[in-house]
């Protein structure tokens, strides 16, 4: 999931459907790219000459590419450098949704099972108890508690064999993108067993004898303490957080001077199998079932399913992914789709490459190059032309439009516009110095358009030290101008191509 800053920038950067915004001063160095017919294979028209002036007035460093098409016939109505591959950020989750739905189906459900390798007699399991995951990104502590409750109802009271945690359904990735700060919760590990979006709740409160520190697997009903993620306070100015792989633990430190009197934040989990195993044992113990120390399997162990938890349907999971932009969900559904496509699970980057190949075959998006399914990495590339091609072809053959977030037009003050277009469904994408928007907009006269707008200053982003990538200097203003530009373009297209 992208960070909270991106959501705030998105809300504050909107303009109304009638307001084009104040004219900004000229750039110190004019972009003035050549305007030309779109490179899409669909029928196209030259871009009107004033589009370049709108983009220049945004005063954005880096590159901008955009395209808009009539959904009914695929005609390109306007384009600007639409063949330049740029980082899509979370806009790529739209493609991930299509990929997962095509390979798994909208009714698909992830299953988390408790498997026994022997019989249960007089409440004793003569054999191993195995917690088996399938990659469910939505599994939380409350769901684990439900599994424990159902297991106890079978009459099980003790296990003579081993307690095994099996997250081998998907290859472990300790983090999605190695170029993110270590403490950001939207960059967790990915595994066949995931819990609470692979986040741990770090809370603190200052008392008379110093700070009280809590590390919890927090959900709505249950919040058991976590031991495998450890936090130490350090007397230093910076960095605020550090992480070290402690073998069986996630070892964290935090600057004491950076803590307020009380507060909390989510931290990523790097060892999800251990996390899930520990919390399941804790919940089982509270229900009167003591389990052996967890062991971890790298392969499926056959047995009989005792109880299971089924996730919501993939259509529901994908819709929430597009609404809340959860990175873990994108990676797990993408990797699960590739597993079905190839007949075996492959590492995250290889799975993303498979999704690129599929998009090329399915939609003709030959210039696509993805390194993940979430858009968290700035090394992924897609052009505005390819994105529009995908959106046009997907409109009548998939349920993507209905799953996209319904976004309301707002004015510069953040108020809802009174005469906004009748429909605006899209996926946003934001990294520092990267902004994307792609989806469908319906004009007041009922004409449906597919659009994509990508902006990126990759050179400036590359200069940011990893430790400062959560809130680097200058990024907020740049991203706000990029969002304003997106809405100026949408407003223009809704007026100019309204019927």
CATH no. for residue 259?
A: 3.50.80.20
pLDDT at position 388, please? 97
Does 348 lie in the same domain as 403? yes
- In this structure, the number of other CB atoms found within 10 A of the CB of residue 403 comes to 22
Q: Which residues pair with 24 in a beta bridge?
A: none
% of residues, the chain, pLDDT over 90: 77
Q: What is the Cα–Cα distance from 77 to 55, expressed in whole angstroms? A: 17
Q: Alpha helices, DSSP H only, in 72-206?
A: 92-104, 141-153
Band of the pLDDT at 128, cuts 50, 70, 90?
A: very high
Choose among 455, 486, 436: nearest CA to 61. 455
Average pLDDT value for the chain: 88
pLDDT at position 495, please? 86
pLDDT at position 416, please? 60
pLDDT at position 27, please? 29
Q: What is the Cα–Cα distance from 407 to 420, expressed in whole angstroms? A: 11
pLDDT at position 97, please? 98
Number of domains present in the structure of the chain: 2
- Measure Cα distances from 197 to 200, 351, 399 in Å: 9, 20, 25
pLDDT at position 487, please? 87
Residue-range definition of the domain harbouring residue 124: 110-311
Instruction: Among 261, 296, 311, give the residue marking a domain's end.
Output: 311
Does 461 lie in the same domain as 349? yes
pLDDT at position 419, please? 58
Mean pLDDT of 42-49: 48
pLDDT at position 410, please? 57
- Quote helix, strand, coil % in the chain, to nearest 5: 30, 25, 45
pLDDT at position 5, please? 38
Q: Which residues pair with 416 in a beta bridge?
A: 410
Does 274 lie in the same domain as 226? yes
Does 444 lie in the same domain as 331? yes
pLDDT at position 417, please? 63
pLDDT at position 144, please? 98
Does 375 lie in the same domain as 238? no
pLDDT at position 11, please? 35
Choose among 426, 420, 385, 386: nearest CA to 404. 426
Is 90 exceeded by the pLDDT of residue 39?
no
pLDDT in tens, 137-153: 999 999 999 999 999 99
Torsion of CA 352, 196, 149, 307, to 10 degrees: 0
pLDDT in tens, 407-445: 876 554 445 666 555 568 999 999 999 999 999 999 888
Does 445 lie in the same domain as 428? yes
- Domain with residue 459: its CATH number is 3.40.710.10
pLDDT at position 24, please? 31
Does 142 lie in the same domain as 89? no
pLDDT in tens, 344-382: 999 999 999 999 999 999 999 988 999 999 999 999 999
Does 290 lie in the same domain as 318? no
Q: What is the Cα–Cα distance from 427 to 422, expressed in whole angstroms? A: 17
Does 342 lie in the same domain as 195? no
Mean pLDDT of 450-467: 94
């Amino acid at each position: 999931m992208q960070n909270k800053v991106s959501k705030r920038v998105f809300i504050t950067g909107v303009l109304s459907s009638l307001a084009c915004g104040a004219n900004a001063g000229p750039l110190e160095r004019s972009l003035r790219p050549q305007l030309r017919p779109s490179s899409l294979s669909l029928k196209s028209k030259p871009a009107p000459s004033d589009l370049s002036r709108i983009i220049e007035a945004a005063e954005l460093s880096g590159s901008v590419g955009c395209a808009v098409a009539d959904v009914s016939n695929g005609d390109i109505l306007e384009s600007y450098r639409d063949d330049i591959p740029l980082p899509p950020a979370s806009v790529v989750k739209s493609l991930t949704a299509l990929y997962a739905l095509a390979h798994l189906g909208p009714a698909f459900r992830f299953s988390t099972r408790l498997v026994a390798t022997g019989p249960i007699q007089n409440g004793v399991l003569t054999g191993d108890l195995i917690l088996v995951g399938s990659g469910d990104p939505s599994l939380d502590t409350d769901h684990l508690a439900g599994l424990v409750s159902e297991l106890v109802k079978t009459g099980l009271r003790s296990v003579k064999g081993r307690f095994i945690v099996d997250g081998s359904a998907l290859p472990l990735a300790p983090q999605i993108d190695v170029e993110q700060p270590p403490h950001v919760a939207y960059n967790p590990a990915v595994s066949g067993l995931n819990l609470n979006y692979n986040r741990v709740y770090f809370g603190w409160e200052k008392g008379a004898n110093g700070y009280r520190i809590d590390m919890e697997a927090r959900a709505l009903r249950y919040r058991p303490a976590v031991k495998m993620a450890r936090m130490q306070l350090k007397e230093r100015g910076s960095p605020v957080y550090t992480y070290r792989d402690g073998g069986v633990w996630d070892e964290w430190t935090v600057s004491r001077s950076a803590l307020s009197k009380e507060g909390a934040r989510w931290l990523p989990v790097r060892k999800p199998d251990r996390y899930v195993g520990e919390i399941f044992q804790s919940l089982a113990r509270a229900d009167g079932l003591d389990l052996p120390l967890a062991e971890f399997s790298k392969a499926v162990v056959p047995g009989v399913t005792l109880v299971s938890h089924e996730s919501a349907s993939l259509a529901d999971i994908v819709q929430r992914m597009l609404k809340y932009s959860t990175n873990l969900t994108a990676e797990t559904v993408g990797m699960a789709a590739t597993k079905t496509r190839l007949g075996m699970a492959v590492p995250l980057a290889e799975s993303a490459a498979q999704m690129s190949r599929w998009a090329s075959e399915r939609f003709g998006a030959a210039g696509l190059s993805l390194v993940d399914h979430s858009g968290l990495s700035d090394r992924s590339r897609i052009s505005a032309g390819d994105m529009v091609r995908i959106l046009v072809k997907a409109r009548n053959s998939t349920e993507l439009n209905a799953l996209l977030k319904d976004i309301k037009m707002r004015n510069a003050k953040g108020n809802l516009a009174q005469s906004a277009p009748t429909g605006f469904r899209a996926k946003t994408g934001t990294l520092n110095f990267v902004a994307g928007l792609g989806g469908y907009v319906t004009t007041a006269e009922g004409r449906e358009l597919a659009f994509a707008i990508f902006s990126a200053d990759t050179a400036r982003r590359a200069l940011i030290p990893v430790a400062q990538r959560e809130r680097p200097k200058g990024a907020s203003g740049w991203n706000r101008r990029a969002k304003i530009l997106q809405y100026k373009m949408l407003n223009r297209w809704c007026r100019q191509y309204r019927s």
